[in-house]
Structure 1
């Protein structure tokens, strides 16, 4: 038996749900890494966490009404992103307070919608799927729309890359150069909403912040430019996501009939990668 055979359980690459998980998870890892770098630079990790948890209300609504969770997550996340920017608060303390209020309201709505979903549709697994993900249960028909959402986010991010980077590192200078900083901030949050939509479907709304912030934070520690950070963060995110899927698939043989949750492995790998990044002296990010 080779090392590859010992690590990769037979049938892994030919399994339908695994193929879907690899594609959707890979898309989530890449878009989360790309926008996650800017989220870390801008100090808006809490906003990313809030958007992810607020999006759970959309996933809950999807279970209640009976439509695709992808559009539920995306719709509510985008609305929450616009609401956060519409508040128009510039100071960090005020932004955190407003984010906390939106965050609490979203979780409260999620609790209500999940209650109705369980009571009226007998969706006993809805809460676990929304909050902690169920990547092996994603229908294959969701792959193309999910990848389209991720691609759309990357295209929008590419279009605003330069002004967003300058506004993130030197907001006063960006304003002096005529960049509409509030508009750039709104577009950043909209791309962020696309990322948390896919990450929520991958590891669940509660844990999606790990996929958004973990690889990006590790990459920012280790690189000197935003471009390098995005590429490294995408690589780390893919390693964590695909590695977590592989470990979860292998776990079917560890405890027969009781596989371990994918989200646990993905988040654990992200945590380990972040800790390893701390072994090296942090680099100073520059505009490039």
Structure 2
């Protein structure tokens, strides 16, 4: 389980869990789970295009995730947010399908982008992954009080001249960066689990904002580590353990806090 070929996997999962757990707290607090599902899928065509053109997938993922933020904000101004997210999902998935169809390894690429390639993480990919994760955490710590206030007490935040529009841009950009970092590891479809499940469980277990935030990071780490270990021992897909354990984690938190 701690063999040299898995070392990059452990490092990548640890970095990703810190970033996803940190931001996941605000995903749940702001009730933005639908956006947390949409932006990783918006990154999907970026990874496909990067593979088609022969450059590092991470930069394509990040570029299209940020493009998805702009798309989401533009169409939200024209109508309802849920409609904007639906348009984002349908159009970017169609674009990703086009890019994948132009390549030669269609099936392998689809599987890798949707479910991750946790055993295919190279040493070269750890540096940009670490930089993205560090950037997300530092930016989040920089604006943590303002984002917390705007997410939980929007009227008080407006009274203190904290712009809800700027905070929404800030939050979505961080979510795009986490999505880009997570897709190569756990895949497009499971970023949602890593962002939402640990944070939702943490908020059930603690009402104190900072304790719940730290607990969300810890639970994200435990979810990532245990999924890797179980995948290694059983030879079953990592995606299966991330998804099922994420659901069980939230269920356990409900049981423990039942009144």
**Match of residue 164, structure 2, among 166, 169, 181:** 181
Which residue of structure 2 lines up, in the alignment, with residue 4 of structure 1? none
Aligned equivalent of 1:38, options 3, 17, 26: 26
Q: Tell me the alpha carbon deviations over residues 258-277 of structure 1, each in whole angstroms, 9 at most, x when there is no partner.
A: x3211111222222111100
1:211 aligned to 2:200?
no
Name the TM-score, length of structure 1 as normaliser: 0.85
Other-structure match for 2:93: 107
* Separation (CA, whole Å) in 1 of partners of 2:21 and 2:215: 8
Alpha-carbon spacing, 1:20–1:108, altered in 2? closer, same or farther (3 Å):
same
Distance 1:67 1:123 in 2: 17
Deviation at 1:88, TM superposition (A): 5.0
CA distance in 1, matches of 2:122, 2:107: 19
Task: Please state if 1:19 is matched with 2:2.
Answer: no
Is the 8 Å Cα contact of residues 53 and 107 (structure 1) preserved in structure 2? yes
8 Å contact kept, 1:195–1:212: no
2:80 and 2:95 map into 1 onto residues whose CA distance is: 23
Counterparts of residues 112-151 of structure 1 (less than 5 Å): 112-117=98-103, 121-151=104-134
Conserved in 2, the CA contact under 8 Å of 1:55 and 1:74? Answer: yes
CA distance in 1, matches of 2:4, 2:29: 39
What is the rounded CA distance, in whole Å, between the counterparts of 1:248 and 1:106 in structure 2?
Answer: 31
Q: After superposition, what is the alpha-carbon deviation per residue over 1:152-174, rounded to whole angstroms, capped at 9, x for unaligned?
A: 00011111111111111111221
Distance 2:254 2:115 in 1: 27
**Alpha-carbon separation, structure 2, partners of 1:67 and 1:225:** 44
Q: Of 77, 81, 84, which residue of structure 1 is paired with 2:65?
A: 77
- Tell me the C-alpha RMSD between the 2 structures: 1.8
Unaligned 5+ segments in structure 1 are 1-11, 252-258, 284-288
Corresponding position of 1:254: none
Contact kept? 1:196, 1:212, Cα under 8 Å: no
Q: Cα deviation per residue 1:108-149 (whole Å; 9 max; x = unaligned)?
A: 1111111112xxx33541000001111101112111110110
CA distance 1:54–1:125, change in 2 (3 Å) = same
Unmatched runs of 5 consecutive residues or more in structure 2:
none
Q: TM-score, normalised by structure 2?
A: 0.95
Q: C-alpha separation between the residues in 1 aligned to 2:96 and 2:230? A: 30
Runs (4+) of structure 1 moved beyond 2 Å?
A: 85-90, 121-124, 280-283
Q: Secondary structure at the match of 2:167?
A: helix
- Structure 1 residue 44, shift from structure 2 partner: 0.7
Q: 1:230 aligns with which of 192, 205, 213?
A: 213
Distance in structure 2 (CA, Å) of the matches to 1:238 and 1:142: 20
Question: In structure 1, the residue corresponding to 2:102 is in which secondary structure?
Answer: helix
Match of residue 267 from structure 1: 243
Tell which structure's C-alpha radius of gyration is larger: 1
* Structure that is richer in helix per residue: 2
Q: Size of the alignment, in residue pairs?
A: 259
